Amino acid sequence: MSLAILTPSAKPSNRTRTARLVSLLLASFIGMAQVTNAQQSVAKPVFTDGQAQVVPAFSNSSEWIREHLWVETEFDSDKNGKKDRVHVDVTRQKQTDTEGLKVPVIYESSPYFAGTANGGAILWDVKHELGAEPPARTFHPDVRFEPNRTMISNELVGTWIPRGFAVVHSEAPGTGLSEGSPTVGGAPERLAPKAVIDWLNGRAKGFTTKSGENEIKATWCTGKVGMTGTSYNGTIPVAAATTGVKGLEAIIPVAPNTSYYHYYRSNGLVRHPGGWLGEDIDSLYDFIHSGDPATRAMSNQLYRDGEFAKNQDRRTGDYNAFWAERDLLKFTGNIKCAVLMAHAFNDWNVVPEHSFRISQAVRGKVPLVQYFHQGGHGGDPPLELMNKWFTRFLYGIQNGVENGPKSYIVRESTPGTSRRSMPAPTPYADYPNPAASSVTFYPSAGGNSVGSLTTTKLKKTIIEQLLDDVSFDAPSLAKASESPNRLLFATPELSTPLHLSGTVRVTLKLASSTAFANLSVYLVQLPWTDGPISPANLITRGWADPQNAKSLKGGDYHSLEKGTPLKPGEYVTLSFDLQPDDQIIPAGKKIALMVLSSDRDFTLWPKPGTKLSVDLSATQITLPIVGGEKAYIAAVKK
């Protein structure tokens, strides 16, 4: 059948014109239907009960788009005359390419992704006399360098990609395939994640190779970024937030180290993180230094053997400008994003004050919720809470998560580690529990056995003594019915449970027989249960240097720049906080204050023999009790 070609002189009939019109209308209808069906088939995030749901079209990992690139920063940490570039990987849904889908990002940065050194090889010798120069740490391990890696990490992708978020990772400066030097808390650790967030928002340049000029852009990103991670990986979200970078909308730091002074020192005292006896900031530098071997010698000279060696000061433990630069508290005025802070009350690696001090600083300025549990280092908030947090602030879904309880506390004993499931938390109006108020307790005579701890102050001067001997650990001293190496004072036995919530504060008046002494203070439950330290026997603890008594007297907690050697026999007074806690002490237990000198799990190990004399009439401890003094009186009433 041939088709007639119409010429201007050959006009179609009315029937022909009608048929053509019907055909055009039909084609138009079919086209519109196809567009509508295509629009309906576009994969989009789905939200139910204020949470992003798993979308089947996002869940096939074989279809995910994976990229790796280098983002140019604004700093030159290795001083080679070029701005450092940091290594970044991206995992995103295929629909961000095929269907024009734009998604927000959940971002984790770390110095650990490329591997670390043997931890035992990096530690200082803790058998070190107080006030003396420490023996040199001479062995420095090399971390294996992997130059051909194309992916940084698979963390987070299985949880968040199916729920409609892209996931981004980056390696900290001087680690993995990132350029530069590890500065361990220095400005580059704040500015490197800022650069990545700037790239996601089109304000910084990303390149397909470390030294090339071929750019890659994040056109698939909405510009909204949330950050999370645990330990060092939890530190970096807080560090990024303190830059005030636009686009960082929410962070969920888990067990973040927010001050390297608070990590490696305590109230003027050299104190090591739990489980890492002998670690210091230069040790951590060696532990993470996995960057290009060609630049390591220069980095070592600049930082480990230069700035760190000059300023970390293991002799006095005093605060200085080096430590101040590595304290994120001073930068919290720049934080603009929503903060969901997570920590464990029994984390003795990164102690809980690290999170609490940041929460206190941003309270009332940004959306803030705190999550605490009774486990050890790490432990994410429940996924539902994390999901609501990121859904609210990255997708703008009004789920009210910021308007509900301001604190969630897991009160059950949980020995969990990082990213383990925790029991359901109890919601509080805030933390500390608003119903808690301070109750002051005073010791009486008999601390070498078990003296009493009551709300009645001594009316006469009583001096009691203890001998320093690091060969006895704290559990042994707490269990002993009598010991010359500690002072122990206990309340009457509780007849009903008693709830503590907040920060314990201790004031001691003491004299030392030597110019230098360690001081360790524990709040424990008696009788001490057998086995390792746990919430069933330890409530909280803290450490201080009596040389810094002038700074600590009256509670000037932040002024620790200059310790003064003690004059043997001369009394000094110091006040300081123990670690924050929230715990219900069960009936049948006693609450006890224990004072000792060297702590074999945390402090330096001087030779035994230093004698501490404590003036009990000028010593007290203040407990944050829910219900105040009335609750305490009721709990000890027979």
Q: What is the tens place of the pLDDT at every residue in 579-608? A: 999 999 999 999 999 999 999 999 999 999
Q: Which pair of structure tokens corresponds to residue 291?
A: 């960057």
Q: How far apart are CA 385 and CA 388, in angstroms?
A: 5
Q: How far apart are CA 546 and CA 540, in angstroms?
A: 20
Question: What is the three-state SS of 182-199?
Answer: CCCCCHHHHHHHHHHHHH
The residue written with tokens 């803790």 in the block is 126
Nearest to 480 by CA among 494, 466, 492, 499: 466
63-126+143-428 shares its CATH topology with 436-636: no
Question: What is the three-state SS of 83-109?
Answer: CCEEEEEEEECCHHHHCCCCEEEEEEE
Angle between the N-to-C axes of helices 187-200 and 232-241, in degrees from 0 to 180, rounded to the nearest 10: 70
Q: What is the mean pLDDT of residues 443-448?
A: 96
* DSSP code string of 361-403: HHTTTS-EEEEEESSSS--PPPHHHHHHHHHHHHH-----GGG
Q: How far apart are CA 617 and CA 462, in angstroms?
A: 6
Question: What is the three-state SS of 513-562?
Answer: CCCCCCEEEEEEEECCCCCCCCCCCEEEEEEECHHHHHHHHHHCCCCCCC
* DSSP code string of 317-349: ----HHHHHTBGGGGGGG--SEEEEEEETT-SS
Answer yes or no: CATH 2.60.120.260 is held by domain 436-636. yes
Q: How far apart are CA 525 and CA 587, in angstroms?
A: 11
Percent of the chain with pLDDT over 90: 86
pTM equals: 0.92
Quote the distance between the C-alpha of residue 180 and its chain's center.
24
Nearest to 351 by CA among 504, 231, 252: 231
> What is the gyration radius of the CA atoms in the chain, in angstroms?
30
Q: What is the mean pLDDT of residues 508-523?
A: 98
What Cα–Cα distance (Å) separates residue 333 from each residue in 29, 245, 327, 356? Answer: 58, 13, 13, 16
Q: Is the pLDDT of residue 67 over 90?
A: yes
Q: What is the tens place of the pLDDT at every residue in 158-198? A: 999 999 999 999 999 999 999 999 999 999 999 999 999 99
Q: Is the pLDDT of residue 28 over 90?
A: no
* DSSP code string of 610-628: -EEEEEGGG-EEEEEEETH
Q: Which residues have C-beta within 8 Å of that of residue 487, sequence separation ≥ 6?
A: 443, 447, 448, 451, 464, 466, 594, 595, 596, 614
Q: What is the tens place of the pLDDT at every residue in 298-341? A: 999 999 999 999 999 999 999 999 999 999 999 999 999 999 99
- Residue 96 pLDDT class (50, 70, 90 cuts): very high
Torsion of CA 246, 252, 254, 258, to 10 degrees: 30
Q: In the Cβ-directed half-sphere of 624, how many Cα atoms lie within 13 Å?
A: 21
Q: Is the pLDDT of residue 32 over 50?
A: no
Q: Which pair of structure tokens corresponds to residue 299?
A: 């980095």
What Cα–Cα distance (Å) separates residue 306 from each residue in 143, 223, 303? Answer: 20, 39, 5
- Residue 561 pLDDT class (50, 70, 90 cuts): confident
Q: Is the pLDDT of residue 632 over 60?
A: yes
Q: How far apart are CA 316 and CA 336, in angstroms?
A: 37
Q: Would you kindly state where each structural domain of the chain is located, as residue ranges? A: 63-126+143-428, 436-636
Nearest to 625 by CA among 612, 636, 617: 636
* DSSP code string of 459-473: SS--EEEEE--TTS-
- Residue 20 pLDDT class (50, 70, 90 cuts): very low
- Backbone dihedral angles phi then psi of residue 155, each to the nearest 5 degrees: -60, 145
Q: SS3 of 585, please?
A: strand
pLDDT of residue 31: 41
Residues marked as catalytic:
231, 347, 377
The CATH homologous superfamily to which domain 63-126+143-428 belongs is Alpha/Beta hydrolase fold, catalytic domain (3.40.50.1820)
Q: Which pair of structure tokens corresponds to residue 33?
A: 């239907």
